[in-house]
Amino acid sequence: MEPPFIIPLDFNLSPFRSGVLQEDPTNPTYDVFECKDLNSQLSVIISRKSYFANFITKKVYFGMVGYNEKKAKAQLSELWQGVAGVLSGMITRLLCQPLDVLKIRFQLQHEPLLKSQENYYWSLKQASVRILREESFAGLWKGHVPAQLLSGAYGLAQFGSFELMTKIVFNVYHGENNKTVTHSICGGLSGGLATAITMPFDTIRTRLVGQGEPKIYRGISHACLCMVREEGVTSLYKGLAPNLIQIVPHTGMQFGFFQLFSNLYRYLSGTTDSEKLPMYASMVAGSGAGLLAKAGIYPLDLAKKRLQVQGFEIARSKFGKVKMYNGLRHCIALTWKEEGIFGLYKGFLPSTVKAMATTGLIFALYEEITQIFISLNE
**Contacts of residue 56, Cβ cutoff 8 Å, sequence gap at least 6:** 44, 45
Look at residue 56 and give its three-state secondary structure. Answer: strand
Task: Answer for the pair 180, 186: CB distance below 8 angstroms, yes or no.
Answer: no
pLDDT at 233: 92
Average pLDDT of the residues in 257-269: 91
Per-residue pLDDT tens for 213-252? 777 888 888 999 999 999 999 989 987 887 898 899 999 9
pLDDT band at 185 (very low <50, low <70, confident <90, very high): very high
Per-residue pLDDT tens for 330-361? 989 998 998 888 888 887 888 888 899 999 99
pLDDT at 150: 83
pLDDT at 314: 61
Give the residue from 309, 323, 71, 324 showing the smallest Cα distance to 206.
309
Give the residue from 359, 363, 351 showing the smallest Cα distance to 101.
351
From start to end of the chain, where are the E strands? Answer: 5-6, 19-23, 30-35, 42-47, 55-59
Sheet strands side by side (includes 19-23) = 5-6, 19-23, 30-35, 42-47, 55-59
Report how far residue 90's alpha carbon sits from residue 255's, in angstroms, rounded to the nearest whole number.
19
Task: Answer for the pair 190, 366: CB distance below 8 angstroms, yes or no.
Answer: no
What share of the chain in percent tops pLDDT 90?
A: 26
**Contacts of residue 372, Cβ cutoff 8 Å, sequence gap at least 6:** none
pTM: predicted TM-score of the whole model, two decimal places: 0.69
Q: Give, in order, the Cα–Cα distances in Å from 185 to each of 77, 159, 181, 182, 249.
A: 21, 13, 6, 5, 9
pLDDT of 16 over the 90 cut: no
pLDDT at 169: 87
Instruction: Determine if the peptide bond prior to 214 is cis (ω within 30°).
Output: yes
Report how far residue 150's alpha carbon sits from residue 104's, in angstroms, rounded to the nearest whole number.
16
